Structure 1
Amino acid sequence: MLTVCCLLSSQGDKNAGFDVLYHNMKHGQIAIKELAEFVRERAAVEETYSKSMGKLAKMASNGSPLGTFAPMWDVFRVSSDKLALCHLELMRKMNDLIRDINKYSDEQAKIHRKTKEEVIGTLECVQSLQVQNGHLQKSREGYHSKCVELERLRKEGVPQKELEKVIYD
């Protein structure tokens, strides 16, 4: 709890730090899902590219083994094949990353539920303070406007009964 208090004081005044931390915690799951979706899309792109490079390698192997371009066909075949394998391996690594992200997401969901249960009292207190601060500000503005009105009436020389009426209304 001390850590939370220290974080709160460094995040802003008027208890806004707690709101920021709580908001970040709540929306962390969305961020994790967006990251997983991005990596999933990237893995799909890598797989498509790998398949395309594989097709090019096959095309290069169908090139004429005779003639002046024969050595070039071998270079194109080998390089396309290696590139296809590299992108296939990258896709596999990204799929592993997706599994790790999903595992992290599950762990975070458990931690968030536990944290939410622990800080619900703090959340209620902070919200109550914010509501009270809003009421205080509204009262302060009302008081200030009455003071301005009273001063204006005094300068105009309004009788005391009229002034009292303004004060107590």
Structure 2
Amino acid sequence: MRGAYFKESFWTTDITSTLGYDTLLQHMNDGRKNCKEFEDFLKERAAIEERYGKDLVNLTKKKSCGQTEINTLKRALDAFKQQIDNIGQCHIQLAQTLREEAKRMEEFRERQKAERKKIETIMDSIHKQRQLQYKRTVDSKKMYEQRCREKDEAEMNVSRCNKNNMNQKQQDKIYAKLAHSKVTAEDADKTYQQNINQLDKVREEWQKEHIMACMFFENQEWDRINYYRNAVWTHVNQLSQQCVVVDGICEEVRKTLEGCIIEKDIEHFTEGHKTGDKPPAPIPYENFYNNVRSTTPVIRRAPLQSASMVPDDPAYAAVGGFSAYQ
């Protein structure tokens, strides 16, 4: 069981006070502001998602990724770039979805504002009427009390007149004033009572309207909190779904990478680019002087060589650390 309702909790004992109503109205305006803040949050998040998505799409178009790779690894990298593009498109789509959610929040907020405006107009009118009638009642009460005092004063004058010797003219004047004061006092009394009755009618009408306004505000607040809660719930569901979609996209990349077989890629490259299956033959040593044909003996200074480094050739003789051509 609920223990507190708006219609039971926002009253004051002062008939002219609007404190309870003003408190409710401030709370409703704060609720509308909170909805606007979430709406702006969704719009900003949408802008971020759109920028991120477009950056991912542009990245796949402008930047190379394994451009010279071949065979199964190339197919995996091509799939990787395509799926990154798909992720970018998902973020762009999410941005559009978030803008639609922000638009729905805006429509809800404006609808509640328009509905509440009707109640506020009625309450403003009844408050003015109540204030005006209360002022009339207070003024009529003051007038009534003033006329009563005047009548009492006139009666006292008549009493004094009877005790004192006054001429007939003075007595007639005092009695006439008494008669007039009685009439004005009775008129003031009637006016005062009429204003009291009218104020009571206004008070009853105001209380009825105040109860209706409280019930309306409470229903609106119920709807607002429920809508706000569901909007946030929807938002996080959209983000979760985005993660599921992105995970599915990444799974496609993982599948292509599972199909990347290192042996096949190496074999594919080897078969497509092989240049021969025989290595080069050893390069033989060629003595420069064996190719020289000269009639004049030439003596050449050569570096010291160990016995194992001197060629087995009769044309050479080691003399004093020099090799001389014989």
Tell me the TM-score normalised to structure 1 length.
Answer: 0.56
SS in 1 for 2:108: helix
Per the alignment, do residues 112 and 123 of structure 1 end up closer, same or farther by CA in structure 2, a change over 3 Å counting? farther
Q: Tell me how far apart the structure 2 counterparts of residues 13 and 106 of structure 1 sit (CA, whole Å).
A: 28
Q: Tell me how far apart the structure 2 counterparts of residues 104 and 71 of structure 1 sit (CA, whole Å).
A: 49
Deviates more, 1:62-71 or 1:23-32: 62-71
Contact 1:8 1:18 in 2 (8 A): no
Q: Tell me how far apart the structure 1 counterparts of residues 98 and 107 of structure 2 sit (CA, whole Å).
A: 14
Q: Tell me how far apart the structure 2 counterparts of residues 89 and 122 of structure 1 sit (CA, whole Å).
A: 50
Per the alignment, do residues 118 and 108 of structure 1 end up closer, same or farther by CA in structure 2, a change over 3 Å counting? same
Q: Which residue of 2 aligns with 1:151?
A: none
SS in 1 for 2:69: coil
Q: How many residues matched?
A: 120
Matches within 5 A, 1:1-169: 6-9=5-8, 11=9, 18-59=21-62, 63-64=66-67, 66-67=69-70, 69-120=73-124, 121=126
Q: Which letter maps to 2:120?
A: K
SS in 2 for 1:101: helix
Q: Tell me how far apart the structure 1 counterparts of residues 128 and 67 of structure 2 sit (CA, whole Å).
A: 74
Q: What is the CA deviation profile of residues 40-63 of structure 1, one whole-angstrom value per residue up to 9, with x for unaligned ones?
A: 100100001101111232246664
**How large is the Cα RMSD of the aligned pairs?**
3.3
Q: Tell me how far apart the structure 2 counterparts of residues 31 and 124 of structure 1 sit (CA, whole Å).
A: 33
Q: Which residue of 2 aligns with 1:157?
A: none
Shift of 1:12: 7.0
Shift of 1:119: 3.2
Shift of 1:123: 10
Q: Tell me how far apart the structure 2 counterparts of residues 89 and 63 of structure 1 sit (CA, whole Å).
A: 28
Deviates more, 1:103-112 or 1:16-25: 16-25
Unaligned runs of 5+ in 2: 14-18, 131-326
Deviates more, 1:64-73 or 1:40-49: 64-73
Q: Tell me how far apart the structure 2 counterparts of residues 52 and 124 of structure 1 sit (CA, whole Å).
A: 62
Contact 1:60 1:73 in 2 (8 A): no
Deviates more, 1:77-86 or 1:53-62: 53-62
Q: Tell me how far apart the structure 1 counterparts of residues 7 and 68 of structure 2 sit (CA, whole Å).
A: 72
Structure having the larger proportion of residues in helix: 1
Q: Tell me how far apart the structure 2 counterparts of residues 44 and 95 of structure 1 sit (CA, whole Å).
A: 9
Q: Tell me how far apart the structure 2 counterparts of residues 54 and 94 of structure 1 sit (CA, whole Å).
A: 19
Shift of 1:106: 2.2
Contact 1:29 1:105 in 2 (8 A): yes
Q: Which residue of 2 aligns with 1:135?
A: none
Tell me the TM-score normalised to structure 2 length.
Answer: 0.31
Shift of 1:111: 1.3
Per the alignment, do residues 53 and 124 of structure 1 end up closer, same or farther by CA in structure 2, a change over 3 Å counting? farther
Contact 1:39 1:94 in 2 (8 A): yes
Query: How much identity, in percent, do the aligned residues show?
Result: 24
SS in 1 for 2:41: helix
Q: Which letter maps to 1:113?
A: K
Per the alignment, do residues 123 and 42 of structure 1 end up closer, same or farther by CA in structure 2, a change over 3 Å counting? farther
Shift of 1:33: 2.2
Per the alignment, do residues 19 and 8 of structure 1 end up closer, same or farther by CA in structure 2, a change over 3 Å counting? farther
Contact 1:56 1:77 in 2 (8 A): no
Per the alignment, do residues 59 and 71 of structure 1 end up closer, same or farther by CA in structure 2, a change over 3 Å counting? farther
